[in-house]
Amino acid sequence: MEMNTHDRLERIFKDAFSIEKLTDDLSIDNVPGWDSMAHVALIMTLQQEFGIAITPAEAIELTDIASIKNYLRSVAH
Amino acid sequence: MNEQITKILDEMPAAPSWLYYRRAAGQLRALAASGANIFANGFKVAFTGSFTMEPVSEYAIVEAARQDIGLDVYVAPYGQFSREMLDTQSGLYAFKPDLTFLMVEPTAAGTDQETADHMVSLAHHWSSAGNGTLLVCTFAAPPDWPLHLLASTARERLQKANQYLIKALANDPRIQILDLDALAAYFGYVNAFSPQMLAMARVPFSEAFLKLLGQKIGSCVKAVKGLSAKCLVLDCDNTLWGGIIGEDGLDGIALGPDSPGREFVEFQKAILELYEQGVILAINSKNNEADVLEVLRRHPHMLLREKHFAALVVNWQSKADNMNALAQELNISLDSMVFADDNPVERQLLRQMLPQVKILDLPANPALYAQTLRQTDFFTKASLSEEDRQRGAMYAAQRQRTQLQQSSVSLEDFLKSLEMVCSIRKAEAKDVKRAAQLTQRTNQFNLTTRRYTEAEIAAMLPDKRRAVYVLGLKDKFGDNGTVGLAIVNKQTESWRIDTFLMSCRVIGRQAEDALVDRICRDAQLSNVKQLTAEYLKTPKNALAADFWDKMNFIKTSLDEKTSQYKCDLERYAPKEFKYLKLISINQN
């Protein structure tokens, strides 16, 4: 399950931001193109990809890979 | 379309989220910025409004690219639409756009009416200083009545403001209205609006609705630039009516108040709507002209009559040749023509031979024809002039038949691309029903028009003095089933082709030649000295009149009704068929 989530995230980041390898330290501060507008588009994509609803308040916190993974893990259960 | 554009569009997933639109739009912009003149048409579009306009611009860039239109965009800063429109030193004016897109929420300047007033004054100001065309959206908002289902005063206010806006801007030819409220209603308000997008991105629309809006902006650009299609070219059988007029006759075709005729009446209604908006209508049909004219003139349920058509090309030549002839006769370019035909093979042929012509992909179910036509953006117009309303009638009045000319476009690539597999075999018990039906129903490509019952066909199968061949044809679009039939009467020294027919939807694809070739080969193998054939003229089979001549059979006699032929078997050289994969079973 964890592998699967990682791979799906990696594909999204590859498609959206041309990131080759997904690591936990990637964040809105160090990924070129991940700006505030792209962040909303990313959240919409995560909702679609993982079949979940993310509130705007939650979305503000999901600005690095570690947080996104933690979040996906928490809603999976 | 440019390969790099195609690549970018193809790389998007099947149901792309905004993220993928954003990425593709960025790639398209970078490609355009590299200086390459990659689009058939390029336009500068400025986006401004009370929403975040970036997502709208991104969807528009991608959806316009699908229509081979390149958008060079300017997105005004968020919340700055009034200043951008009023200050002629603003980025918007400096950009000198071909089209300025203005989309404002009804509460942006107070009440709905106050906001409408504000927009009218912005538009008038723009009109005195701005470049190109201004496209103003009507207000759209989710309805507030789900709790009581009564007429809502809020909705009434919104509609009043929209009507005011439309009326106030109607007289400026440089200002066009995009009825966003109607578009949201068409899409369904519940699906058009997304509270999530509004909260996070400050644009109220769902991603699915942004896609539709992007398409409409692309169509508006085309309409404003006069790139809309002018002419709808229609096939007849199974397009304007159900069935085949040449086979089923005036009383047999499906057209009327009840299914399976209602579907076609509804389609004709949708076609008439276009006619009334100035779209020219034409017919391009493989048929006998007299048969088609009879339907146009006499069928009680035809809505479309001869007077509605600017040109009719009804013959047995290729539709591509006929399309060229229509373009010449109507003096319009091929890229302003849209072709509607139920047959996917004809559509594909035209796509390959005349890629400029736009194709309306009619679905297999005729009940969906009208909807498909109404949803296409080929004919989108910025506005309707009096001339538009009269145009159809003008063309029809000026109609002159011009001699059709052969075009030099080759059929070979098309035949090759069909990947045809042709099977020719002796009929078996399972074929009796279809074989009898073919003799009874085939009128046009039928050399002798001899009708046989199932019992008669069944009696031929074990008969050593008879050979019954059936021909099946598959292509990449599917299996056409058993579409050809030949019956040969055999004597020791000579064979006679008693019946030879093909369903007309597959004529001209060399299958008929292959069937003749098979009979000739079998005759040679049986050491037959002579093979004879005939053409018996009927009111319906002019199409086949010179078939035996084309097959290099020798004419031995003819009178008004009958031509007799023979084939010189000693000199007959078996043929190869480059474009048909032949499967011949039970050879002799």
Given this model, what pLDDT does residue B38 score? 75
pLDDT digits (tens, 9 = 90+) for B305-352: 999 999 999 999 999 999 999 998 888 889 899 999 999 999 999 999
Q: Cβ A37–B20 below 8 Å, yes or no?
A: no
**DSSP H stretches of helix in B202-278:** 207-224, 245-248, 262-276
Q: Which residue has the higher pLDDT, B492 or B501?
A: B501
pLDDT over 50 (residue B404): no
Boundaries of every domain in chain A: 2-76
Spans of chain A below 70 pLDDT:
1-3, 77
Given this model, what pLDDT does residue B392 score? 64
Report how far apart the first and last C-alpha atoms of chain B are (Å, whole number): 51
Q: Which residue has the higher pLDDT, B46 or B493?
A: B46
How many of the other CB atoms lie within 10 Å of CB of A43?
24
How many Å lie between the alpha carbon of B196 and the closest alpha carbon of chain A? Answer: 7
**In chain B, what residues touch A38 (CB-CB under 8 Å)?**
19, 22
Given this model, what pLDDT does residue A28 score? 94
Of A38, A48, A56, the CB nearest to B22: A38
**In chain A, what residues touch B15 (CB-CB under 8 Å)?**
48
Among residues B242, B233, B270, the alpha carbon closest in space to that of B360 is found at B233
Q: Cβ B22–A41 below 8 Å, yes or no?
A: yes
How many Å lie between the alpha carbon of A20 and the closest alpha carbon of chain B? Answer: 16
Of A33, A40, A48, the CB nearest to B200: A40
Burial of A36 (0-12, 13-18, 19+ CB in 10 A): exposed
Q: Cβ B18–A15 below 8 Å, yes or no?
A: no
Q: Cβ B17–A16 below 8 Å, yes or no?
A: no
Instruction: Please give the ipTM for the structure prediction.
Output: 0.90
pLDDT over 80 (residue B246): yes
- B569 φψ region: left (φ > 0), alpha (ψ -120 to 50), beta (else): alpha
For residue B316, which amino acid is it?
W
For B19, the closest chain A residue by CA position comes to: A41
Q: Cβ B20–A15 below 8 Å, yes or no?
A: yes
For B377, residues 6+ apart whose C-beta sits below 8 A from its C-beta are B67, B215, B216, B218, B219, B222
Q: Which residue has the higher pLDDT, B171 or B520?
A: B520
Of A37, A43, A44, the CB nearest to B54: A37
Query: Is B522 strand, coil or helix?
Result: helix
Given this model, what pLDDT does residue B408 score? 33
Domains of chain B, start order: 3-224 (3.40.50.1110), 231-409 (3.40.50.1000), 419-584 (3.40.630.30)
How many Å lie between the alpha carbon of A50 and the closest alpha carbon of chain B? Answer: 13
For A43, the closest chain B residue by CA position comes to: B19
Given this model, what pLDDT does residue B41 score? 80
How many Å lie between the alpha carbon of B94 and the closest alpha carbon of chain A? Answer: 25
Q: Which residue has the tokens 């029903």?
A: B433
Of A45, A53, A56, the CB nearest to B19: A45
Q: CA B388, CA B397: separation in Å to the nearest integer?
A: 15
Q: CA B299, CA B305: separation in Å to the nearest integer?
A: 9
**In chain B, what residues touch A12 (CB-CB under 8 Å)?**
19
Instruction: For residue B439, give both structure tokens.
Output: 């003799």
Selected residues 175-234 of chain B with any CB under 8 Å from a CB in chain A: 196-197, 199-201, 207
Given this model, what pLDDT does residue B395 score? 64
pLDDT over 80 (residue B197): yes
Give B51's DSSP letter. Answer: S
- Considering the domain A2-76 in this protein, what is its CATH number? 1.10.1200.10
Q: Cβ B18–A59 below 8 Å, yes or no?
A: no
Query: Is A35 strand, coil or helix?
Result: coil
Q: Is residue B101 within 8 Å of B47, Cβ to Cβ?
A: yes
How many Å lie between the alpha carbon of A2 and the closest alpha carbon of chain B? Answer: 23
Mutate to test the interface with A, among B12, B18, B198 (most CBs of A within 10 A): B18
The mean predicted confidence, pLDDT, of chain B is 88
Q: Which residue has the higher pLDDT, B423 or B437?
A: B423
Q: Is residue B230 within 8 Å of B332, Cβ to Cβ?
A: yes
For A42, the closest chain B residue by CA position comes to: B19
Query: Is B2 strand, coil or helix?
Result: coil
Of B15, B18, B199, the CB nearest to A41: B18
CA of B84: how far to CAs of B29, B73, B174, in Å?
23, 15, 18
Q: Per-residue confidence at B401, pLDDT binned at 50, 70, 90?
A: very low
How many Å lie between the alpha carbon of B29 and the closest alpha carbon of chain A? Answer: 15
CA angle B273, B274, B276 (to 5 degrees): 65
Query: What percentage of chain B has pLDDT greater than the value 70?
Result: 93
Given this model, what pLDDT does residue B159 score? 92
Mean of pLDDT values over B429-446 = 88
What is the CA A29 to chain-centroid distance, rounded? Answer: 14
**In chain A, what residues touch B19 (CB-CB under 8 Å)?**
12, 15-16, 38, 41-42, 44-45
Of B23, B54, B207, the CB nearest to A44: B207
Q: Cβ A37–B52 below 8 Å, yes or no?
A: yes
Does the bond joining B260 to the residue before it have cis omega, within 30 degrees of 0? Answer: yes
Chain A contact residues (CB < 8 Å to B) = 12, 15-16, 33, 37-38, 40-45, 47-48, 53, 56, 59
Instruction: For residue B553, give both structure tokens.
Output: 């059979």
Q: CA B108, CA B121: separation in Å to the nearest integer?
A: 14
For B199, the closest chain A residue by CA position comes to: A56
How many Å lie between the alpha carbon of B137 and the closest alpha carbon of chain A? Answer: 23
Q: Is B308 on the interface with A (CB under 8 A)?
A: no
Given this model, what pLDDT does residue B225 score? 76
Q: CA B218, CA B542: separation in Å to the nearest integer?
A: 47
Mean of pLDDT values over B466-472 = 96
A65-76 vs A36-50: helix axis angle to the nearest 10?
A: 30
pLDDT over 60 (residue B468): yes
Instruction: For residue B22, give both structure tokens.
Output: 């954003």
pLDDT over 80 (residue B149): no
Q: Is B22 on the interface with A (CB under 8 A)?
A: yes
Of B23, B55, B201, the CB nearest to A15: B23
Given this model, what pLDDT does residue A1 score? 44
**In chain B, what residues touch A45 (CB-CB under 8 Å)?**
17-20
Given this model, what pLDDT does residue B492 score? 84
List the single range of A2-6, B186-190, B419-423 with lowest mean pLDDT.
Answer: A2-6
Q: Is B78 on the interface with A (CB under 8 A)?
A: no
Q: Is residue B513 within 8 Å of B549, Cβ to Cβ?
A: no
Q: Is B342 on the interface with A (CB under 8 A)?
A: no
Strands (DSSP E) found in B357-452: 358-361, 420-426
Given this model, what pLDDT does residue B400 score? 34
Q: Is B30 on the interface with A (CB under 8 A)?
A: no
Alpha-carbon Rg for chain B in angstroms? 30
Q: CA B452, CA B332: separation in Å to the nearest integer?
A: 48
Mutate to test the interface with A, among B11, B17, B78, B203 (most CBs of A within 10 A): B17
Q: Is residue B333 within 8 Å of B327, Cβ to Cβ?
A: yes
Mean of pLDDT values over B83-91 = 92
pLDDT digits (tens, 9 = 90+) for B93-126: 999 999 999 999 999 999 999 999 999 999 999 9
Alpha-carbon Rg for chain A in angstroms? 11
Q: Per-residue confidence at B407, pLDDT binned at 50, 70, 90?
A: very low
**In chain B, what residues touch A35 (CB-CB under 8 Å)?**
none
Given this model, what pLDDT does residue B206 score? 96
The mean predicted confidence, pLDDT, of chain A is 91
Instruction: For residue B462, give both structure tokens.
Output: 């074990």
Give B510's DSSP letter. Answer: S
Mean of pLDDT values over B577-582 = 88
Given this model, what pLDDT does residue B406 score? 34
pLDDT over 90 (residue B554): yes
Q: Is residue A65 within 8 Å of A46, Cβ to Cβ?
A: no
Of B17, B55, B197, the CB nearest to A45: B17
